[in-house]
Amino acid sequence: MSSYEYLHMIRDINDSTVWWDAKVVVYDKTHPRRASSSPRLYQRITFMDTLGQKVDATIFGDDDIAFFDHAFNLHETYIISNAWVNCISEKCYNRHNYPYQWVVDIDTEFRLEVSDPIPRSLLQHHFTSFSDIHTLIGNEHLHLDILAIVIDRKEPRSVFARGGLNHIKEYVLLDQQHKAVVLTLWNVVAESEGNVIDTCIDTLPIIRATALFVSPYYGGSLGSTMWTTVAVNPQIPEAAALKSWRQNNMLAIAEAVKGKQHFDKISSISDIFVDTKVDEFDVRVTAKITRRNQKGFYMGCGECRSAVSADYNYNYTCNICKKNTTATPHESILLTVTDPSCSLDVIAFGEQAVKFTRVNAVACMEMFDKGLKLTTDEINTTLGKVSFLMKIKKKKREFRNAVEFQYTVVKSEVNTEAAASSSH
């Protein structure tokens, strides 16, 4: 590498600067992604200098990304020379208050700086506590960084939102306050960062996720932005402390893991009708939607989810929980489940409903407002390929001076043993 008289600070570098060197630390790094509008692969890196100034750099194309595969590791310091410097829009540079981006290619000179690296103490990570997330709902311009344990993964699905069809992956995270929060990764971020989480999901990995927005969904959850990065088991002191906490709290973590409860004695559907001493049953069934033209959602209390006849966002006092709230859409779907003994009509709410429809309540509401309906045939085609283990709750209620029962899906998961046997 060439040697120059002095190192430039990022703020001193613009699209007219020539023959420059800069000492920077890798503050953030995405995994390779493909933009929805182009098959071309790209990877984004955020560099930071000793003054705390950051700049986004991008590597384009499979060949260049492969060339830098073992370079620019998170939190390592590098000397970089003469990368391409391009102007960016104010909307983009407001992120770092620097109106340029760098493009790194195979002609960019760089070397790892080991003798005088930028101290990691300058990185100043500020991780948001999950207990504070609900207080941040509605702040559209706030981007958060979090450090947490991934305790569960939901089924990938597609939703109608943001004006079109989106592919998402959702993960349940837990922090040291024993607070669980859902993280939703969208589209290309779900494909790149989500795939990395998926490879180690069974190990309860620790992730550092950056540039997240707060969503009101699930009563306060997190979503990815175009800038979001995910580092699995990052080598930072905070992650080491969380790893120690994880080791010492495995029992509490096990209790928090969603979707991992054990299915006990498997009953037949006919047992549900005749057994009056038990109100929860585990069954092995197939499922399909037999009642067509369902909306897939209902309007209910934002606190206790009880149904209400009101428009979206209508403010009222709930007759059930007595709290001041707003009318909010919640997922619901009626299914018919069948085993060799007989069939049973059941209802699934919330997360359980989404497992079958793959569409959330907001998306269902938007579809309904546009005169669209759930594609029952398409859903049934998918459901017909698998069987399920279900925990069904039986609840007696009086309706118009008659006693009837409601059967609710408490938990469900694909019967992997059946799926495995059918594939051979």
Q: What is the pLDDT of residues 344-363, one digit of tens each?
A: 999 999 988 988 988 889 88
Q: Which of 256, 283, 305 is the last residue of a domain?
A: 256
- 4 band by pLDDT with thresholds 50, 70 and 90: very low
The verdict on residue 1 lying in a domain is no
- 158 band by pLDDT with thresholds 50, 70 and 90: confident
Which residue range(s) make up the domain with 321? 266-422
341 in the same domain as 295: yes
Range of lowest pLDDT (255-269, 302-316, 334-348):
255-269
- Is the pLDDT reported for residue 140 higher than 80? no
What pLDDT, on a 0 to 100 scale, did the predictor assign at position 86?
Answer: 93
pLDDT per residue as tens digits for the range 393-422: 998 877 667 778 899 998 888 775 544 334
What pLDDT, on a 0 to 100 scale, did the predictor assign at position 163?
Answer: 65
138 in the same domain as 242: yes
Query: Does residue 15 contact residue 100 with C-beta atoms inside 8 Å?
Result: yes
Region 287-295: mean pLDDT is 91
- Is the pLDDT reported for residue 15 higher than 60? yes
283 in the same domain as 205: no
- Identify the residue whose tokens are 């104010």: 90
The verdict on residue 191 lying in a domain is yes
Identify the CATH number of the domain in which residue 90 sits: 2.40.50.140
Region 131-144: mean pLDDT is 82
228 in the same domain as 137: yes
pLDDT > 90: percent of the chain:
50
The verdict on residue 371 lying in a domain is yes
Task: Dig out the tokens for 299 from the structure.
Answer: 């309007």
The verdict on residue 272 lying in a domain is yes
What pLDDT, on a 0 to 100 scale, did the predictor assign at position 219?
Answer: 66
The verdict on residue 93 lying in a domain is yes
Region 299-304: mean pLDDT is 90
pLDDT per residue as tens digits for the range 219-276: 678 999 989 999 999 988 899 999 999 999 888 888 777 544 455 578 889 888 888 7
Region 364-387: mean pLDDT is 87
What pLDDT, on a 0 to 100 scale, did the predictor assign at position 260?
Answer: 45
The verdict on residue 251 lying in a domain is yes
Region 302-326: mean pLDDT is 90
What pLDDT, on a 0 to 100 scale, did the predictor assign at position 159?
Answer: 73
The verdict on residue 231 lying in a domain is yes
145 in the same domain as 220: yes
The model scores a pTM over 0.75? no
Range of lowest pLDDT (126-140, 226-240, 372-386, 407-421):
407-421
- Is the pLDDT reported for residue 156 higher than 90? no
The verdict on residue 4 lying in a domain is no
What pLDDT, on a 0 to 100 scale, did the predictor assign at position 399?
Answer: 66
pLDDT > 70: percent of the chain:
92
Region 76-83: mean pLDDT is 94
- Is the pLDDT reported for residue 210 higher than 90? yes
277 in the same domain as 139: no
Mean pLDDT of the chain: 87
281 in the same domain as 240: no
166 in the same domain as 91: no
- Is the pLDDT reported for residue 336 higher than 90? yes
376 in the same domain as 229: no
404 in the same domain as 341: yes
411 in the same domain as 290: yes
319 in the same domain as 245: no
Task: Dig out the tokens for 368 from the structure.
Answer: 């309904």
Q: How many domains does the chain have?
A: 3
Q: Which of 96, 122, 148 is the last residue of a domain?
A: 122
Higher per-residue pLDDT: 283 or 135: 283
Q: Which of 88, 122, 156 is the last residue of a domain?
A: 122
- Is the pLDDT reported for residue 3 higher than 90? no
